[in-house]
Amino acid sequence: MKKVQAKIPWLEHVINDEKIAGDINVRSLDIIVRFRDKGLCLYCRGGKLLCGRPRCPALIRLFSFMKTKNLIETEAISGSSPPGVFVGRIGYPYVYAGPLVPPIIGDTSLFDFPEGWIGRTADEIIGFRTKLVRGKFRVNVKKHLDNQALLSKTLEIALSREPVDAEVIFKRKPSGIFLFDDEVQPMGPSAQLSRIELGNVKFDHRVERAYNDYDLRAEEAVLDLYLSGTPVSAIQRAFSLGAFGIKRQRRLVPTRWSITAVDSLISRRLIEDRVKNNPEIDEYQVYSLSYLGNKFVILMLPSKWMYEWIEAWHPGTMWNPQSNGVAMGSDWEGYRGRTTYASLGGCYYAVRLAVAEFLAKEGRQASVVAMREIHPEYIMPLGVWINRESVREALKHDGKKFDTLKEALEYIGTKFTIPLEEWIKTSTIMKNEILQEKITKFLRF
C-alpha cells in the first residue's frame, strides 16, 4: 500500500498558523478492495470464515442493509436528524454535502454521538449509523453560498443541540451502498437531495455565537467551544459546514478532514497552554482498556512532554488481511511538536487529544506512549472515534503506578499477546528511555 502526502488547499483558508497547517497536512488515501475469481470471499461465502475474523463483515453489511431497506423504499423520508451532517471529499473543491436523516421520529441523538458509544456492541453502533440516510447536493467549498437553499437548512442542522425533525425529498430512491471507513463513522444509503423542510430547530447557543462572530478565527472558536464543554463531535460537525472563522475565509471542510483538524487543533493548544508548564509526574503510570477486539495501553513516563502512538494489527484484521505476521507502525513527536502530518493518520491526533486533556486536567506533564493491539474480533472500521473515546475511558479509571520502568514494562507485557520486545523495537520513546542515560545520573546533590 503506497502512502502519498499531499498538501490540502482548504487548510490555508481555515487556519493562519503555518505550524498547525503543517501538523494537519492531510494525505489522501483511497483503498479499493476487489474480490477476484479465486479470492477467499468466493470460496468462503460467509460460512467458513477463511479471512480469520469471527464474523463475516460482508454479511453484517448485508443484514444492516436489509433492516434499513424497507424503510427507504421511497423518494421521501421523514425523520429526526441526530443532528448529523456529512461533507464528502471526492472531487474537491466540488464535493457532496448534506444532512443525515434516519426514517425514525424521536430521540435519535445517540446515532451521531460517539462520546456515548463506549460499551456498545459493534452491531449496535453499526445499527445506529446504517439507519442514517445521506441526503446530498453538489457544492463548491469555496463558493458554498451559491447553493443557499439546501446549504442553509443543512447548516441549521449542524448548529442544533438536539435532534431536528426533517422531511427530505430525494431525486430518486436512496442507494443500497453503505460507507465503512477507518476515519469516519459508518453511514447508511445516500441519494441526491431535492428539497428539505425542518421543524423544531433548537440551536446550541455556544456554537451559534461562534458562527455569528465573523471576526473570530476558526482556531479560537474551536478552542473556546471545547473549553466551554461543547462535545468534540458537535464542534467537528459545525467545523465541516464552515461555521467558524473570518467571514471571507470560511469554507466547507470534508468531514474526514474536519475530524482530524479539530482533534489536532484542540490537542495542540492544550499541550502548549495547559500541559507543558506543569510539573512532571513522579512515577511510571499505566492505563488499559479492552473494547471490541482492541486492546489499549497507555504508558506515562516521568519526563517532559513527548507523545507516541503505536498500532499493531494481527493477521486476519482489516489492514493486515493475508499476512502471517503482525503488522506494526508508529509515529511520535518530541517536546517541540511536529510539522508534518502523522503517518498513522487521524488516529494519532484523536488519541493525542485524549491524553492531552487528561494531563491538562491533572495539572501534570509526561512522556506518553499509547498503544493499540487490534485482533480479528474487530471486524470492520468504525472510525477514529474508537481510539479517542477508548483512551478517554481508560484514563477515567485508576491506573497502575510503578517506581521503575522495568516494572511498568513487565506489567504491560501481561496486557498484550504480542511480545513486549516487539513493542519496544517499534517505539522510539521506549527505546530512548531504556538505552539513553540522562545527565542527572552523573550529578551529585
**pLDDT tens across 186-238, in order?**
667 788 999 999 998 999 999 999 999 999 999 999 999 999 999 999 999 99
What is the greatest pairwise CA distance in the chain? 79
How far is the C-alpha of 227 from the C-alpha of 266, rounded, in Å?
A: 9
At 285, is the secondary structure helix, strand, or coil? strand
In sequence order, what DSSP letters do the residues of 162-192 get, joined into one string? S-EEEEEEESSPPPS--B--SSS--B--EEE
pLDDT at position 13 over 60: no
pLDDT at position 183 over 90: no
Per-residue pLDDT, 12: 46
Helices 122-130/57-69 angle, 10° precision: 40
Per-residue pLDDT, 369: 98
Residue with cell 461465502: 45
How far is the C-alpha of 133 from the C-alpha of 188, rounded, in Å?
A: 5
97-154 pLDDT per residue, tens: 999 999 899 999 999 999 999 999 988 998 888 888 899 999 999 876 666 789 999 9
Per-residue pLDDT, 70: 57
How far is the C-alpha of 425 from the C-alpha of 442, rounded, in Å?
A: 27
Higher pLDDT, 48 or 21: 48
Question: Is residue 65 very low, low, confident or very high in pLDDT (cuts 50, 70, 90)?
Answer: low
Per-residue pLDDT, 18: 45
Question: Is residue 6 very low, low, confident or very high in pLDDT (cuts 50, 70, 90)?
Answer: very low
In sequence order, what DSSP letters do the residues of 288-349 get, joined into one string? EEEETTEEEEEEEESSSSEEEEEEEE-TTBTTBSS-SS-EEEEEEEBTTB-SS--TTTHHHH
In sequence order, what DSSP letters do the residues of 245-283 get, joined into one string? S-GGG-----HHHHHHHHHHHHHHHHIIIIITTSPBPSS
324, 315 contact by CB (below 8 A)? yes
Per-residue pLDDT, 431: 95
Angle at 270 between CA 18 and CA 252, to 5 degrees: 50
Question: Is residue 251 very low, low, confident or very high in pLDDT (cuts 50, 70, 90)?
Answer: very high
Question: Is residue 28 very low, low, confident or very high in pLDDT (cuts 50, 70, 90)?
Answer: very low
At 100, is the secondary structure helix, strand, or coil? strand
Helices 205-212/218-227 angle, 10° precision: 160
Higher pLDDT, 23 or 41: 41
Mean pLDDT of 407-428: 97
Give the amino acid at 87: V
How far is the C-alpha of 25 from the C-alpha of 18, rounded, in Å?
A: 10
Question: Is residue 64 very low, low, confident or very high in pLDDT (cuts 50, 70, 90)?
Answer: low
pLDDT at position 271 over 50: yes
pLDDT at position 317 over 80: yes
Mean pLDDT of 366-378: 96
| Cis, bond preceding 93 (omega within 30 deg of 0) | yes
User: Which residue stretches of 4-56 are H helix?
Assistant: 10-14, 18-23, 40-44
221, 161 contact by CB (below 8 A)? no
> What cell was used for 10?
482548504
